[in-house]
Structure 1
Amino acid sequence: MRSSRPYKSPNAAMCWSVVLPGFGQLYNRDYFIGIVLLGLEFLINLKSNLNLVLVNTFNRDLLSAHQSIDYSWGLFYPSLYGFAIWHAYNSAKANNNKLEGKTVERRTYFSGFFLGLVIGMDFGLFWHDGSLIKAITFLDYPVFNGVLFGLLFGFIGNLLDKRVYRKSTKQT
């Protein structure tokens, strides 16, 4: 018997959402949330001038990168981005568990990493003045700083999730 939702690779779903928030959901056939996430991505991208900031960042035009970003909209983007990746991965895992006849777990995967990623990216966008570390000039750029702190906080969040939260839930 064929299922209407065949096996979906969680890693592929995650990678599609890395490319553009909402694509992982479309890959998983979660069309409504995929279209909503795509719409929000375009709205936030447009209102925050993110594409202009990216062009200025890669052209190494620091002043234009700082002047063109609208932080009141730009600080929403990491939350949307992190949620889209997290949801796509966990939705694919839940789909595959249903296909295999397993009960759907209440457990989520990589929650600590994605929560840390969002917090780190917001922190990096907000605090992108490289005055503390003058030797690393790319910390002056909001995009590079957001990615660096996002990954750093993501790995810290993953470590805390594995070491602290998962151990405390197993003991209860």
Structure 2
Amino acid sequence: MVNPKERLLWSIALPGFGQFLNKKYLKGIVFVFLEFLVNVQANFNEIIILSFQGDIENAISKADYQWLMFYPCLYFFAMWDAYKDSGGEQDCFSFLPFVFSAYFVTVGCIYSSKFKLFGVLLGPVWLPIISVIPGVMVGLLLRGIFFKIYLLKYKNV
């Protein structure tokens, strides 16, 4: 039995793993390759380590933002793709939480070197991670609104 949430969680672990479980091997290879390419070019592992150690200024200086900004869209698209291909929610608006998470995380990445939350500079790892929460909330809200409009439109037909 295919479990869409399992595919989603494996895609969170590493983009491409959910595709492998869905037997979409070429897509999986492409996502894993792109993840490694962007990760290495953005110095992402190093900035994750520095961020976890609390060295935010050094993490900011090591981050290659031109590459790092690709990561949210790649990451959330791979998650959505694995979820959708395994039979996850099939309504026409189920992509919205993933899309808005990618948008918000990208904006979090853009402002991560300057934006302070309660006086604390969170940097290129923590601010984007925190940005997932409003991204999912906005995506779910819009999904609900659009779905109700869709139902109203086609119920009256």
Q: Same fold (TM over 0.5)?
A: yes
Tell me which residue corresponds to 2:115: 130
Tell me which residue corresponds to 1:147: 129
Cα distance change of structure 1 residues 53 and 153 upon mapping to structure 2, 3 Å threshold: same
Cα distance, 1:108 vs structure 2: 4.6
Task: Please list every run of at least 4 consecutive aligned residues from structure 1 whose deviation after the TM superposition is greater than 6 angstroms.
Answer: none
2: CA distance between counterparts of 1:23 and 1:55? Answer: 23
Tell me which residue corresponds to 1:39: 33
Q: What letter is aligned with 1:166?
A: F
Cα distance, 1:27 vs structure 2: 0.8
Task: Name which of 104, 107, 112 aligns with 2:96.
Answer: 112
Q: Which moved more, 1:114-123 or 1:147-156?
A: 147-156
Q: What letter is aligned with 2:13?
A: V
User: CA-to-partner distance for each residue in 1:23-57, whole Å, 9 max, x for gaps?
Assistant: 00001111110110001000000111100100110
Q: How many residues align?
A: 152
Cα distance change of structure 1 residues 24 and 132 upon mapping to structure 2, 3 Å threshold: closer
CA RMSD of aligned residues (A): 1.8
Tell me which residue corresponds to 1:10: 4
Q: What letter is aligned with 1:116?
A: F
1: CA distance between counterparts of 2:40 and 2:118? Answer: 31
Tell me which residue corresponds to 1:100: none
Residue 82, structure 1, aligned to residue 64, structure 2: no
2: CA distance between counterparts of 1:63 and 1:131? Answer: 12
User: CA-to-partner distance for each residue in 1:62-110, whole Å, 9 max, x for gaps?
Assistant: 121000001111000000100011111110007xxxxxxxxxx6x3563
Q: Is the 8 A contact 1:121 1:147 kept in 2?
A: yes
Q: Is the 8 A contact 2:46 2:62 kept in 1?
A: yes
**Larger radius of gyration between Structure 1 and Structure 2:** 1
Q: Is the 8 A contact 1:112 1:159 kept in 2?
A: no
Structure 2, unpaired ranges of 5+: none
Output the TM-score relative to the length of structure 2.
0.90
Tell me which residue corresponds to 2:15: 21
2: CA distance between counterparts of 1:165 and 1:73? Answer: 33
2: CA distance between counterparts of 1:131 and 1:145? Answer: 9
Tell me which residue corresponds to 2:140: 158
Cα distance, 1:132 vs structure 2: 5.8
Q: Is the 8 A contact 2:93 2:146 kept in 1?
A: no
